[in-house]
Structure 1
Amino acid sequence: MENNVLFIKNMVCARCILSVSEIFSRLDIPVGTISLGEVSVLRTLTFQEREELSKELLNTGFEIIEDKNSRLVSRIKSVIIKGIYDDKNFSKNNLSVILSDELNMDYSHLSSLFSRMDGKSIQQFQQKIKTERVKELLEYDELSISEIATDLGYGSAAYLSTQFKKSTGLTPSQYKLDHVKKRSSLDSH
């Protein structure tokens, strides 16, 4: 069934899944499951269907990933984004073990491929996504900085603040005062 799995670039959130699902539905293409970056199609697509699908996805900011290495990088990103946003235990576990287990590949291979294809390390990407998650949680103003630090696997609120300042130039408290212009899209990383 691997050949019936399409890998989709820029699927980074639940709304992306909904948008992609609507495109497949509108084109009458039956799907099994849709998750971040992946769609399981229940039948082989004709050339015309694939072209139409590709066009519709591009119009919405998505793209079918054809290259094997690009698909793997996309899967790495999906595992990290999903883990940071959906799994409170994700950041408490060793990222190299999580990725190796999830993708059934040696971490050193994943790491070198990711760096070569994306221009930054897996850890840099993870930190960028964690920073965006911290920004989001600060904007919601429902958790303290200590609670955010715990939820995202930072050793302490002080360490979170240090990492956040390195990434944004602001402390979390400063960010809360002037947060509107500082967020960036997850698919731009």
Structure 2
Amino acid sequence: MSPIVLNIENMVCPRCVLMVEDLCKNLNIEIKKVELGKIELEKEVTGSKKQKLAQELEKIGLSLIESDKKSLINAIKTAILHQIYYSDKALQVNFSEYLSENLHHEYSYLSRLFSASENMTIEKYIALQKIEKAKELLSLKKHRISEIAHQLHYKNTSHFSTQFKELTGQTPSQYKKNPSQERKMLDSFHQSQDFETK
């Protein structure tokens, strides 16, 4: 029997997982597990309880996803965020293969769906997320720029520096000296045009 899953939009960090677990417990919803982007249930939730869950999720900036296409877009984002922010292992394949294998769809389909919904390509979304992670690492001032480039799996430091400047208007060195530029929330990129490439 296939698992009963509710897909949740905007779950981007481990803290979101804990909040959703608490919320389900308070609503007496029996869960098997909660992961980034989804709740796996012991049994189906319907009617007023599902409506209450949706309302409570909205209060903490999350939302239930009802459409299959929206669920798939959320799964793409979750897979990318997980790899960039939370995985200790470097990808052994490129992102297109990683997404295709994990989400069981041809990459060309995922790419078209994502671009149509988010007004940016998957590649652009990946680049933006890498730059946000780089900003976090640069602001800690514990890592050399070459180490950050390596950690984020850039081909070389030059490629990292070029992309960083293209998307932020500063070099990594400039940002490291004065990390005053506001960082973006992980789930806010499709709502903003701040990072259009020049």
- Please state which band the TM-score falls in when normalised by the shorter chain: over 0.9
Residues 84, 90 of structure 1: 8 Å contact kept: no
For residues 132 and 91 of structure 1, what CA distance do their matches in structure 2 show? 19
Structure number having the greater helix percentage: 1
SS of residue paired to 1:186 = coil
Q: Deviations over 1:89-114 (max 9, x none)?
A: 44563111101100111111111111
If the length of structure 2 is used for normalisation, what is the TM-score? 0.90
Show the 5 A alignment for 1:38-187: 38-90=38-90, 93-187=93-187
1:30 paired residue number: 30
State the Cα RMSD in Å.
1.5
Alignment length (residue pairs): 189
For residues 46 and 66 of structure 2, what CA distance do their matches in structure 1 show? 16
1:35 deviates by 1.1
1:172 deviates by 1.0
For residues 141 and 91 of structure 1, what CA distance do their matches in structure 2 show? 25
Find out whether 1:16 has 2:16 as its counterpart.
yes
SS of residue paired to 1:170 = coil
For residues 50 and 11 of structure 2, what CA distance do their matches in structure 1 show? 18
2:193 paired residue number: none
- 4+ aligned runs moved over 3 Å, structure 1: 88-92
| One-letter code aligned to 2:127 | Q
If the length of structure 1 is used for normalisation, what is the TM-score? 0.94
| One-letter code aligned to 2:135 | K
1:188 paired residue number: 188
For residues 37 and 21 of structure 1, what CA distance do their matches in structure 2 show? 12
2:196 paired residue number: none
For residues 93 and 168 of structure 1, what CA distance do their matches in structure 2 show? 27
1:119 deviates by 1.0
For residues 136 and 161 of structure 1, what CA distance do their matches in structure 2 show? 15
Residues 134, 148 of structure 1: 8 Å contact kept: yes
In percent, how many aligned pairs have the same letter? Answer: 38
1:2 deviates by 5.1
Q: Which runs of 5+ in 2 are unaligned?
A: 190-198
